[in-house]
Structure formats: C-alpha cells, structure tokens
Structure 1
C-alpha cells in the first residue's frame, strides 16, 4: 500500500473510532490512543506513531514516561542511518584493569554494583548508566564506596586517587550550586595537569552552563568529543543548547548521545521531556500558541477551536456525533498535509541543510532566554515539526563554530589523538603488595570469592552468607541488608578477584586448595553426613521442609554448593540426640524467602543406619551405612511374595477409596496419589514405592514407622502394613 493509502486508511480508522466512541469517557479515548501510538512505535512505524501521539496530546496530557517506546522507535530510525559506535564495545574489557568501565578513567573512589563490576563514584552518582556496561544487569545506583578497594588504590596509586577526589570536589561544588568556585577549581586542575581526563572539563561545562556562560560551556564539550566520555560530552552539549532555547538542535544532539550510548538514562529522559512538550497542548505556552494560530490558520485548527467551544455547552447526542465527525475530517486533512511534508523532507539535501543550521548561530552569553519552537505552533503543525526534527537522514554531528575554528579544530584533533594513543597500563608496586590487605574480616583468610555489599564492605561469599543466616545486617557497620538478602545475588567483585589472582597467585592457589579440600569433605555421603533432626522421611515420598534455623540454613546451602543436594533426616531421640535409622533426602528445589528463610522441596532417597554421631557448625552429623532389601532368589518364594504384595496393594486401594473426602484430599495434597502397582517388586534396593507411601499416610506412631523403615525384608514390611490396614478397616468409619 502507498503512503497515501496508509494515510487514508488511518483517517478512516480514526473516523470510525471517534464516531463509535461518541459517548465514551474522554479518558478512555486518551488511553486507547496512547496504546495505539505505542503499538505503532514498537512496530517501528514512526510516521504513524508521531501522528497518534499528537492526537493523544489533544485528549489529555502525555507524561514523559509514556513516551519511552516512542523514543526507542526514534532512536532505532536515527541509528539506522547514523551508524554510531556503541558504548558497550568500548567497555567490553572493563573488568581487566583498574579503570571505570563507563568513562575508562581511573577508578578513583570505586563503587561496586550488584553484578560485581566496579565503577568510579562520579559515574555512579551522576547516574550516567542504568545498566552495567559489561554484563547488562540493571544497576540500583545507591551503592556506597568499596572500602577495601578504595584503601588499596589509595595505597598503590595515591596521586591518581588525589586527582579523582579533586574531581569529586568539583562535582560537589556543582551539586551545592557553588558554580564559580567549581569553575575556579576545575580550571586550576586543567592548567596544572595536561593529561587531565575529559571528566573535569565536563564538570566545568556544567558550571559554565549554570552561570549562563554558554560559549565556554560548549567549548569544553567540543573538546571532549573524541574522549572516552564522548556520550557524556554530547549530553552536556545538548543540555547547553536546550538552555539556550535551541530545542531543535538539542534534540538532535540528545539523539546522537543515545546513538553513541543507548544506555544513557539522563539523555533519554530529556528526549522524552522535549517530545512531551511538543506533543502536549496542555502546556501553558502551547495553549497561547494555539489561541494565536486558531484565529488565522488552517481549517483544522479553526474546527478544533469550534469543538473546544462546543464542549463547554450542553450537547445532544446528534451534536456529539457531529463533533467527532469534524475531528475525523480534520484528521484526514492533517494526514494529507503530513504526507506532503514528508515528501518535501525526503528531497535530497533538505535534511542535510537542516542539520547544518546550527553552524551559523550567534552566541550571546548574557540575556539568553529559553525559547521553545513548539509554543508558536498549532496542533496541525506540531506533527510536521516533530518529523522534521527527527529526520533520520541527518547523519553528521552538530558542531558549533564560534570563530578561530582552525585553532580549535587543531586542539580537539590533538586531544582525540592523545586519547586514542594513551592507555595507561597500571601495575601494582610489588613492594606495596601485602596479602593481609586482602583478608576477609570474618574468617581472617585471603578472600575467596570476594563479595561486596551495598554498604561497601567486602567478605568471602561463604562467610557473608553464614552471617546473614543469623541477622540481615552488615557484620561491620550493622547497616540493614534486608533487600540484599531478599535478592540473594552474592556476585563476586571482579576487580578484587582479578587483583588476587594476578598479583597473589601463590596465595590464591593455596586458598583455593583449602577451599576444595573443605568442599570435598562435605561432599562425602557416608562420612560426616549432615543430619536434619525433625520428622520421619521415606524413600520416594515427598518431604517439604520450612527451614528457618541458622544452622539448617547453612546445612542446606552447603548441600547445594557441594553439588550433593542430599542430607539425612532422622527423628529425635532423647538419649542419643537422633534415632539410629533415617532416610536420605534429595533436594529438588529451594525457594528462598525475603527474610532468609526457605522452603525446601525434597524427596526421599536411600535408607541408612547411623554408625557414629558428631557435630559441625551447630548441626548434627553422622557416619552412616546404607540399607538395602534382601533379595529373594527362590522362584516359589518370590511368587508367594508377589501374591502377598498384590493382596496388600488391593487392600490399601480399597481403604484409601473409602476414606472420608476430607482425609482423602489432605493425603492427595501432601503426599500425592497412591503409586501405581510395580511389575518388578525387587527392582530397587528399597522395594515397591507403594509401601513407603502407605507408611507415610497411615495414622501410626512414628516409633512403629521407624521400626518398619529399618527392616531389610520386604515380606516383613508387607505383613506389618497388612496388619495395620486390617486394624484400620475394622474400625467403623464414622
């Protein structure tokens, strides 16, 4: 279908929509139109999306956050022609050194985020990224400085850390609005150090902008275009242009920023705000523009003014339907006009000329006012303007020329070459290496899988988990870690792990060896087997557990970490601590609750007999031997055993079917249905599953159940169960 055909179809669709919904609530119109616009944007149908977002603005306010899909659509179109480099490729190896993965500058005051990667404090506090540059994980943004790593960097690279802190002072002066002092301090830093990172200039540009010294601010941003902070430089430049009232140009530069780095949240928010202003006639300045243009512009705007006047008067159903027909007809004219504008925009050279308009602007430092182009536009023209602003054939960056262009181009070119060539390769001074600086404060050993909490303290992963079993607080500063515990994502701090493996390889190997030996000891399923003293468990029968005691939290976690996923279950014994016989439980899944408790889904495995008892970190252990049924070899005896099994199975089925519905449903809910009859009753070491299911559901004393569990003769077990069933069936079922 041609563009004209699409326009006609859209007009007809909108006409039918408005007529059919004449009596609907205005808010419903607004939400439906927004849904339509977002659907078109998600399908990358930019032209139609622009139109429908404009229509939504005529029905009610469009909030910036509602334009996220729209911005993504615009950016896809912009990037398809701009072919801008991605920031992700720049930071792909950010975890291999002591530089920030976002700005590639020295980490300085390091902040470790939830995924385990570390950034400089400036990038973290300024929210220059919302996802990790390395792994793509979402970043909270409220993490504190990594205490251990900050101390190490201060010891190893004191001069570089001093520069980082000075930059933080500039940022702090900007934060408290002491902009003149910020400019003064930043200028001193730049003059004293020719290799100062671009971040200092960008902080100074922010201060210049606040002081309305726009030329100087733009000069600093231009200087940084070829640096590792190129996305931030574009963002800062766009902010300056926006403050100057150059909304058209600022929107283009914001999109260039997102093309360089699509995960630049501040830039995306600004684009959403600009689009919201352009699309929303509820904006005060836009209303003035509408009033001015309604008197002497297109029939579409005049009809809109008449409709607005009519809405203030009582209306009959016929009048309301006529009103919507007027809107639909106006929309058709509007779309025809939009098609003509697109045709003119697509003429060769027009978009290029538009993008270069910014070259000739005159910079006036004082007295500039913020002027939007949108307030002078009616609703009809805003869609056209928006399409012109978002022309995707504009692939050249906006460059501001303020005189002395040769000199300034030369300076910028030299800075870009210097940035490209100089990549500082830092190595830790050997005489300053001390393994004690990298010891866990809980186990007093070299970090193994170091994990940093949101409060900035670092511990071995296992040590931290054990502490959180007892209390959801940091072991050092006592700050609440409830949210951290609820997520249970204890990610290794990659920088510290890299430092240990690279510079303390011998000590790391010894620490790893010790850990593996401890893990191997815990993975033996006959020696020092962890014992959960609680209830009866049986082979093949599910046994869900609610784990809340710290000792059992540790025990379950160790079973998972070692890979055995098994532990023993025994009932309590007043004299011995726990019974002489039990059943191994196999962990199928663990559901962790936000407060550290867990629901563990287990199923019975092998039976065992306790040989000796012990304790480890608060929970019981035992040396055990596994039990198996004695197999019947004689064919006649096996035949009789099979007949006994079939008789008991049928007796159990009848008993289960005759239970009261309440008891019947409870058994199904907790233990599942009765197992099917097995063809080979000696196929497994524990015998038929139906015996254990019956033993679990029959209302008998645990001590009696324990005696049956310990039997190694299937015949004896079947006889015991038969006696119990016969007794239960003799009791009247009231």
Structure 2
C-alpha cells in the first residue's frame, strides 16, 4: 500500500523501512501490525538520535495506530530533547554541579554524608539519595548505580558518628522523615521536618524538600512550592527543581510541570525520576487515550506561541477533509510539534539580550489556592473542548502572581535569598576537618590482618577489609567474614573497588602510618616477584616448554597463588608433579598465564603455556602452597660443524617419523590431540635457536602415551641429541604395535 501520511509532516509521503505507512490500520493483521509498530519505533528512535525531533514525533504518532507505545519507548527521544535544550543552560549546570572538596559531603546532594553507603564503584553516597533513587550513575566516575541493595558502611558511619555526632543525628532524623512519608504519615513527617528546620535554619535544604513532598501529599501545594523555592542555587537544586515539577504536575499544570522536568534534566541529565516523568507526559501527549492532556497542552502551547498558533490555524483551514482517524493522528502530531516549537522558543529566549533568565522560566499557577486545583480529568462529564478550556483557564490562573523556577545562576533572587541562605552558601564552601583529639589509627584497622587498611574494600553488607584480606577469605567461603552474609553475587562480579573516602582519609590524616603500611606491602610484593627465590609451585601435572596447559583452579591455596602471580605482574609460576617423599619432584617447567576466566563461585579456568625448565634447589611453603628456590635449565649448544650436521639429520628423521605416526593415528585420537594440544609445530630452521630446543620435541613428549616419570627424565635432559634419541625409540616402539 502507498498512502500519504496523515498529520504534521508537511504533506510529505512517508516511505520508511521498506514499506509505506497507511492512514488506515484496521486492515492490518495483529502480527503484521506489531511488526510494523516495531519498525516504526526503530525509525522514530533513529530520527530522534539524529536530532530530527519533528519527524520523530510523526513516527511515534503513527506507531500508536498499530499498538500501544509505552513511556520507555520514548527514552531516546527524551534524551535528544534534553540534549538540545540543556545546552542553553550550561551556566546553570556548571554552577550547580560545581563539586565541593569536602570529602564528608554526598557527591549527589552536596549535603552531609550522613548514613554513608558505599556503592560498587567505591564512591560513597548518603543513604537518602540512594533510597530515593536520585541518581542512575555515579557523579564522580559515571559507573551505573545498580539496584542491588547495599547496607550502610559500618566503618565510615562509626567514624562520622565519632567526629560529627550532631550532623549525623540530623541526617538520621531526615531519614525518619522519609520513612514517615513512605508510611503515608504525612502530618507527622511535616511536624518532624519542621522541628529540624527550626533547630538549624541555616542548613535545611534537604529537610524542606522532604517536607515539600509531605505537603504535596496533603494537597497543601502553596506550602510545598514555598519549600522548593527556599534556597535558589542550593546544593541540591536538581532535586529541588524536580520536587517543584512534581507539585505542579499534581496540581494539574501538566504543561508547566513538563517545562520544569526538562529544566531538572538540564541541571542533571542523569536524574532518573525526572526522565521517567518526561517520558510519561510525552507518551500521554502522543497517545489517543488521554485527550485531556493532549488538547490542553496543544492550547497552552498555542497561547504561549501565537506565531505558531496562527500558522496552525491557517494550515487547518487550507487542509482537505480528513477521516476521523486521520484527524486524530494529525491532532496528536500537531500538539507534539507545537510542544517542540514552544520549547525552542522558551529556551532560545534565554540567550536574547535584555531578557532575564528567570523571566523566561516563568511557571504559572504556583501561588494559587489548593481548593481550586483539581485535575481536569477528574471531570469526565465534560467534553474534550470543555476540558481543554478548563485546563487552559487553570493554567493561567496565577498570571498575576508568578513564581520563578530557580535557574541555578549565581545571581540570587530577591524573594528567596535571605540572610540565612547567604550564610548557608558561605558555610557550604567550608570543608569539615577531623578533630585531632578524636583521630585514632586503631579506628581504621582491618579486622582480618589487624593492620591499617591497605586498599580498603567495602562489601554490600557494609563491612570493610583490605582487598587482599577479603579475597583470601572469599577463596575459602563466599560469606562476609564478620556477619556471614552471603557474598556470592559480589564474588561473581569480582569488582573489589577501593572505598575512596576511607582511602583518602587514611592518606590525609594518617600519612606516616600509611607510608609505613605501603612500604611493607611493596616489600611483600617484591619478594613475590623474584622468579628464582620462593617461586610458587603448582603441584599437579607435567608441563613442557611451548605447550599449552589449561588449568581448572578450585583449591583456595591455588586461587591465592594465581591471584598473586597476576598482581605482581610476573604472571608465572612453576609446575611439578607430585613426589610422595619430597612433596614434588626435582624438575619442572615454568608456566606463563595468558588469561584467567573467573567463574561465579570463585573457581577459575587459567590458560597457561610452558616456558623455561628448572631444577629445584630447596623447598618451602607460603600461605598453604609450595614454593621453591630454583635454577633454570638450558640445552648445551653444539658448536662443531660436523656434529651439528649429524644433529640436524637426526632431528629431521625424528620429525618425519613423528609426522607419519600422527597422520596414521585413528581419527578419534587425532582429533583429541588437536583439541587439547593443537597441531604439530612446523619444522624449525635453527634447532638451537632457543635454550629449550625445537618445539616439536615438547609437543611430542606431551602427546605420546608414556609414563610421566619417563617424560620427566626427558624434561630434565640438557642434551638435544639424547632427547631426540629417546623420542625416536618411543616412536619406533609405538609404530611397531598394530592398530596403535
């Protein structure tokens, strides 16, 4: 089918994704309709990604004719809207996002880090911000903040309670306010928040925002708006703007609330709650299910943008007669286009000379009485036009009493910047310091090693340990060493990130103790890096130079050993077979770790390849695994020309004999060898190029079905001739056995 697209597309034909969009979807099957809808949504999101907002609106509108569109489908579109309009508020964002250097402040709300919770990336936030889900990404490193529940950081909370007891008590009281709101005990929440504000009127931004939420639930919108307007340019301005938008939305001022939600995202583009609200409002705007919002927003934007309105009326007058379906689609698309045009005009005015930023962000109706504020949709007996008119009147009730949205600029508003607010702003710039008489190094000791924390890591249950100490405990059991809570998911992620606040505290206030702790750690690491002294030994199987040796590591002692090899950077350890008397034999091969794949339960699959051979000089133990002092083995070089020629001929003969044997193997054995050891190495031009001789000898030694003790005797040889002769004897014997 090829039918012209209805709605605000300028009369252009819509041919996308290999088919035409029709105005009548009744004749399309349900399955085809779903396929069409998905393709149309893909196209709409692609257009939104290219900043082609008006075209994207057309496609979202058309998609709704083939099935429902949920708010999440508009995520890309909302990102584009915010990206375009937030560029006009760069000054706002830079002023509100300027981070304080106080390590005891929450990176999100800039208030005291009361009840600190350390998230997966190692940064700590106040419990209130995480409970309210006020951030989707870490403000300091950009890592996503997952929904995994984390407990209060026990060590940090104890330190803050000791150093700043008054501020921590206030933070706990604010959490009680939030708990009362969640329990719908709003009057009690207002009372408790008011007590906090009266006790400390200079630092009450967070308390007022919590009280504003309670006022909104009690439908006391005037008081709620006053609380959100209390401190312009406050350290939690994004939340303040969001709370203001929620109040306006609850009052029925959907259009104005949308403007403020977008303002919130311009201040903090990762504010998840604001983005969800914008998606929902825009979805309602485009959806035929809510004509109230649709028509009301259309008239509101027309009133605000008379030039756009006149163009629309002319276009409507000149348009040809349309079917009800086409007309409905055009109304939705045109309303959305008007929204975009209106947004562009509002935000462009921010850069016009002589026009104040605050005036361009005017919000209607914020000072009107609660009694007259009811949603238009609560009057179902009204027709669409009557609802739109009612909404239009309610949106313009407070034109004479404007309330300005905080723009975030550094210039204060006359009505909001009180003496207390100025004192608060000055106080916010002063960093807290730890009282010297309360500073005790014992408060920052690991409970496992009883030493000062080195690379402190906090678990989801809130307990902190040295990184190495925690990893060693998790080698034995996937539980917290203190509270025994399961850490299986934490172990599976293997993201043991250092707790940044605690590490900074130790470096700043315990510099001498930290330097000594670091020195000890480096000495221990240096000792582990020596590849001839106290070399870690994996007692397991035979290993050979140049031959791959995959390992399944599950014992706690070898988990620790492999981890240390990775941390020191050597990525090497020795491999020997067992000896009943000595523990392990006198000869072995060094293995180099190529990769480690950790399994969710802590086990790992380690891909290694053989390196140098060695002889054991002495044996030892370290943390449960064997160690040894060793010396490396090298083949004795042949310098005489005739002798070297004979050695080359012997090598070529053995190589050809091995090739024939391998080709004549049964297909099952042939494939198994290829799978585990790879193909036979190519013939080498210089058989003395490496200290271990030709690689084919070691490959053959690994695949030939002979006793490990015999293999060990060949591994210990330093004469290439003797090694070739041994292998030749083995091949001759195997080839003499029928069906071998």
**How would you bin the TM-score normalised by the shorter chain?**
0.7 to 0.9
Give the structure with the larger helix fraction: 1
CA contact (8 A) 1:247 1:372 kept: no
CA contact (8 A) 2:241 2:405 kept: no
Question: Which residue of 692, 696, 703 maps to 1:690?
Answer: 696
Question: Which residue of 659, 663, 669 maps to 2:669?
Answer: 663
Cα deviation per residue 1:387-445 (whole Å; 9 max; x = unaligned)? xx9xxxxxxx97179xxxxx983433656544443223211111111111111011111
Structure 1 stretch displaced more, 496-505 or 659-668: 659-668
Question: Which residue of 659, 663, 677 maps to 1:653?
Answer: 659
The answer to whether the aligner puts 1:120 opposite 2:126 as a matched pair is yes
**Structure 2 gap segments, 5+ residues each:** 1-6, 297-315, 396-401, 407-411
The answer to whether the aligner puts 1:164 opposite 2:171 as a matched pair is yes
Question: Which residue of 4, 17, 20 maps to 1:16?
Answer: 20
CA contact (8 A) 1:226 1:415 kept: no
The answer to whether the aligner puts 1:180 opposite 2:187 as a matched pair is yes
Which runs of structure 2 are paired with 1:343-422 in the superposition (5 Å)?
A: 358-359=363-364, 363-366=368-371, 368-371=373-376, 399=404, 409-412=414-417, 414=419, 417-422=422-427
Question: Which residue of 243, 263, 272 maps to 2:270?
Answer: 263
CA spacing shift, 1:509–1:88, aligned 2, 3 Å: farther
**Structure 1 gap segments, 5+ residues each:** 290-296, 308-326, 390-396, 402-406
The answer to whether the aligner puts 1:432 opposite 2:438 as a matched pair is yes
Match of 1:150 in 2: 157
Match of 1:132 in 2: 138
CA spacing shift, 1:378–1:32, aligned 2, 3 Å: farther
3-state SS of 1:160 partner: helix
For the residues of structure 2 that align with 1:563 and 1:288, how far apart are their CA atoms?
Answer: 66
Question: Which residue of 39, 51, 63 maps to 1:44?
Answer: 51
CA contact (8 A) 1:246 1:371 kept: no
CA spacing shift, 1:302–1:554, aligned 2, 3 Å: farther
Cα deviation per residue 1:82-131 (whole Å; 9 max; x = unaligned)? 3354379836566x621111111111111111111111111111111111
Match of 2:301 in 1: none
The answer to whether the aligner puts 1:276 opposite 2:283 as a matched pair is yes
Structure 1 stretch displaced more, 193-202 or 547-556: 193-202
For the residues of structure 2 that align with 1:50 and 1:475, how far apart are their CA atoms?
Answer: 55
CA contact (8 A) 1:583 1:607 kept: yes
Match of 1:199 in 2: 206
For the residues of structure 2 that align with 1:273 and 1:302, how far apart are their CA atoms?
Answer: 32
Match of 1:635 in 2: 641
For the residues of structure 2 that align with 1:607 and 1:544, how far apart are their CA atoms?
Answer: 18
The answer to whether the aligner puts 1:210 opposite 2:214 as a matched pair is no
Deviation at 1:697, TM superposition (A): 1.0
Question: Which residue of 725, 728, 731 maps to 1:722?
Answer: 728
Deviation at 1:729, TM superposition (A): 1.5
CA RMSD of aligned residues (A): 3.5
Deviation at 1:137, TM superposition (A): 0.5
Which runs of structure 2 are paired with 1:424-503 in the superposition (5 Å)?
A: 424-503=430-509
Number of residue pairs matched by the alignment = 685
Deviation at 1:449, TM superposition (A): 0.5
Match of 1:243 in 2: 250
CA contact (8 A) 1:568 1:582 kept: yes
CA contact (8 A) 1:448 1:512 kept: yes
For the residues of structure 2 that align with 1:272 and 1:63, how far apart are their CA atoms?
Answer: 9
Deviation at 1:56, TM superposition (A): 1.7
Question: Which residue of 708, 732, 739 maps to 1:733?
Answer: 739
CA spacing shift, 1:299–1:620, aligned 2, 3 Å: farther
Match of 1:293 in 2: none
Deviation at 1:224, TM superposition (A): 2.9
